[in-house]
Amino acid sequence: MFPRDFAWGAATSAYQIEGGWQSDGKGPSIWDTFCHEKGRVFGDQNGDVACNSYELWEKDLECIQQLGLTHYRLSFSWARLLPDGTTQHVNQKGVQYYNKVIDDLLTSNVSPMVTLYHFDLPQALQDQGGWKSPGIASLFDNYAQFCFQTFGDRVKLWITINEPQVCAKLGHEDGIHAPGLKEKGTAAYLVGHNMLRAHAMAWHSYNSRYRSEQKGAVSIALNSDWYEPLNQGCPEDFAATERDLAFTLGWFAWPVFVTGDYPEIMRSAIDAQSKKLGYNAASRLPSFSKDESAILGTADFFALNYYTSRKVKPGGGCEKMLCMKGDKDTEEVLDSSWPISGLSWLAVVPDGLRKLLKYIKDTFNNPAIYITENGFSQVGPLQIEDAQRCVYYKDTISEVAKAIQEDGINVRGYFAWSLMDNFEWADGFSVRFGLFHVDFSDLSRTLYQSGREYAKIISKSRSGQSK
């Protein structure tokens, strides 16, 4: 079923698991600030301690070994390594921590995949304008180069930025993620633009300075649902579906993999809405400068985070004011036949992943693909025997196998979200995605049934029973 060198992984991120929010010289991040404001997060919870992986890394390593993973995706806390966000001051305790994590993984025959930025900008940089400021791109490039130089002898798979679409929209349009801004119809496009600029600068730095010696690969992790028309024969629904794909996946994948610029369908929709509402300034979707690092070709593989699917029709309101919703003009609905995992937005649609993989193959020049996140949430009473999640992983991984075997898609690896229950952003600890349950009263880790099943799938695949 799977190639012998297929990467079997699980994923986490620094803010969601590490804790130690001000330990050993770490600087504050925008998520520290956001969570410490009342009313931002479920139950006013925060990641001050979370799974305490900063102190309990050995326990995490035991979990990784128990599953038989070949790969582990983690993120570095920018503010733990560089407390004010710049290389003027390096926190050696942070360097020591990540050195130990990487070395322990390699000793256990587990390859690290490292994300440089997973939502947690140093607060010092937010105070200077954050991702809205053009200068952020070179600050990120400096940070990335520091990491390539310090850890790149051992880390061969890098992700620059995780889910720029989520950072831009949820953090700067909807205000439900840090830094909590609601600058509708403008800030998100600017943030997305600066994230692409930052990513491209870091990729070019790796390519010209580190690749020949370190021989690693660098990409950017893009999230997307699978979208299909509510009514297959309806041209308006088809057009709305195209817009949804453009505003979610295409926003970042088109510049990196296809043209070096945004999808035309996205720009024309934004500009038409501006005109309609009498906004006569320059396009709200910025343009790339010819004087800057080229965006096209700045990914060595396609990193995809997939969770769910949607049916699409035109609509969605927000007619009278500038906002992304009005620009996109789509309404997303759930098919009544799709089961719902704990969260209302997370419909279970395993074959949506196969369809999305096929779309990526056909649209973005048949890239090598790593599925860098995919998972199933549990809310309410704890179920260690999580039968639904077991079925989810079995069905989803089966669809990935079909994508490889029947559709000829070059899928190189699969990372479950997440290794363990953790701080799930605005939902706090109310939502559980782990293969291991974490009891946040004593921080013990307990294997879910789905973790046992995932370990079996990995073991079977690696023993060659499935090719």
pLDDT digits (tens, 9 = 90+) for 170-207: 999 999 999 999 999 999 999 999 999 999 999 999 99
Residue 342 has pLDDT above 90, yes or no: no
> Torsion angle, CA of 180/185/187/191, rounded to 10 degrees?
100
* Residues in a beta bridge with 438: 445
Least trusted range by pLDDT, from 75-79, 250-254, 281-285, 440-444: 281-285
| Predicted local confidence at residue 467, as pLDDT | 44
Q: Identify the band that residue 369 occupies on the pLDDT scale cut at 50, 70 and 90.
A: very high
* Residues in a beta bridge with 332: 312
For 388-442, the pLDDT digits (tens) are: 999 999 999 999 999 999 999 999 999 999 999 999 999 999 999 999 999 999 9
Supply the residues annotated as catalytic: 373
> Does the CA dihedral 190-191-194-199 come out positive or negative?
negative
Q: Identify the band that residue 1 occupies on the pLDDT scale cut at 50, 70 and 90.
A: confident
Q: Which residue has the higher pLDDT, 61 or 320?
A: 61
Domains of the chain are 7-225+343-464 (3.20.20.80)
Stretch 33-57: mean pLDDT, rounded?
A: 98
Contact (Cβ atoms closer than 8 angstroms) between residue 17 and residue 421: no
Report the amino acid identity of residue 60. Answer: D
Residue 349 has pLDDT above 80, yes or no: yes
Report the amino acid identity of residue 239. Answer: A
**Phi and psi angles of residue 227, each rounded to the nearest 5 degrees, phi first:** -120, 135
Residue 11 has pLDDT above 50, yes or no: yes
Cα–Cα distance for residue pair 383/344, rounded to 1 Å:
18
For 299-323, the pLDDT digits (tens) are: 999 999 999 999 999 997 777 899 9
| Predicted local confidence at residue 346, as pLDDT | 94
| Predicted local confidence at residue 372, as pLDDT | 99
Cα–Cα distance for residue pair 206/203, rounded to 1 Å:
5
| Predicted local confidence at residue 466, as pLDDT | 47
Percent of the chain whose pLDDT exceeds 90: 96
**Mean pLDDT of the chain, nearest integer:** 97
Residue 357 has pLDDT above 90, yes or no: yes
Q: Identify the band that residue 465 occupies on the pLDDT scale cut at 50, 70 and 90.
A: low
| Predicted local confidence at residue 86, as pLDDT | 98
For 141-174, the pLDDT digits (tens) are: 999 999 999 999 999 999 999 999 999 999 999 9
HSE-CB for 42 with a 13 A CA cutoff: 10
Stretch 114-131: mean pLDDT, rounded?
A: 99
- DSSP, collapsed to helix, strand or coil, labels residue 383 as coil
Burial, 249: exposed, middle or buried (Cβ in 10 Å; 0-12, 13-18, 19+)? buried
Angle between helices 53-67 and 449-462 (to 10 degrees): 50
CB atoms within 10 A of CB 444: 12
